[in-house]
């Protein structure tokens, strides 16, 4: 049932967007995910690319994701806010939650953490953070090539 709801909401978003933004599979974020202990598990499970649709705001400042890559490769993590007035940032951590890299651009700029070597037997954490500007939706692309 939950899968159907996710599917229907993605379908609705595609219909609303009326574009081909979603060239790859998407899942929806699952709150609460406000700290590493609550991180939403993202199984790549054969996917090379997967998108996560979520929302951050003044009252929901952090979304945490636990990435289980299931494949080795080079990462490309991108965070795009739907509104160019939003300023969200992206952080990548290792399994001990030590920061590997962050991307903290100005509002209206896509955050990009690129070229990090990913190991298939490790886990990683991604954090989307509301920094400022308009609250709203984002598309987080996880790509391990
Ligand atoms: Ca959220
Ligand atoms: Ca959250
Ligand atoms: Ca930013």
Alpha carbon of 2 to ligand 3 centroid (Å): 31
Give the mean pLDDT of the chain: 89
Alpha carbon of 20 to ligand 2 centroid (Å): 27
- pLDDT tens digits for range 21-45: 567 899 999 999 999 999 999 998 7
Q: What is the CA radius of gyration of the chain?
A: 14
Ligand in nearest proximity to the CA of 57: 1
Residues 6+ apart with CB under 8 A from 20: none
Number of neighbours of residue 86 by Cβ within 10 angstroms: 21
Task: Give the pTM.
Answer: 0.84
Residues 6+ apart with CB under 8 A from 54: 28, 29, 63, 128, 137, 138, 140
**pLDDT of amino acid 19:** 46
Domains along the chain with CATH numbers: 23-144 (2.60.120.380)
- Residues 127, 116: Cα–Cα separation, whole Å: 16
- pLDDT tens digits for range 87-128: 999 999 999 999 999 999 999 999 999 999 999 999 999 999
**pLDDT of amino acid 18:** 44
**pLDDT of amino acid 3:** 61
Longest dimension (CA), the chain: 41
**pLDDT of amino acid 94:** 97
Alpha carbon of 80 to ligand 3 centroid (Å): 9
Alpha carbon of 3 to ligand 3 centroid (Å): 31
- pLDDT tens digits for range 2-11: 565 555 555 5
């Amino acid at each position: 049932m939950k899968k159907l709801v996710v599917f229907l909401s993605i379908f609705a978003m595609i219909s609303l967007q009326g574009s081909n933004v979603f060239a790859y599979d998407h899942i929806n974020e699952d709150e609460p995910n406000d700290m590493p202990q609550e991180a939403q598990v993202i199984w790549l499970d054969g996917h090379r690319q997967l998108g996560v649709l979520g929302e951050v705001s003044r009252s929901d400042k952090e979304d945490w994701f636990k990435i289980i890559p299931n494949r080795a490769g080079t990462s490309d993590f991108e965070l795009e806010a739907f509104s160019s007035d939003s300023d969200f940032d992206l952080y990548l951590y290792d399994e001990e939650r030590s920061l590997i890299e962050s991307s903290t651009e100005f509002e209206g700029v896509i955050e990009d953490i690129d070229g990090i070597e990913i190991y298939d037997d490790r886990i990683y954490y991604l954090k989307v953070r509301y920094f400022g500007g308009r609250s709203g939706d984002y598309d987080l692309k996880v790509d391990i090539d």
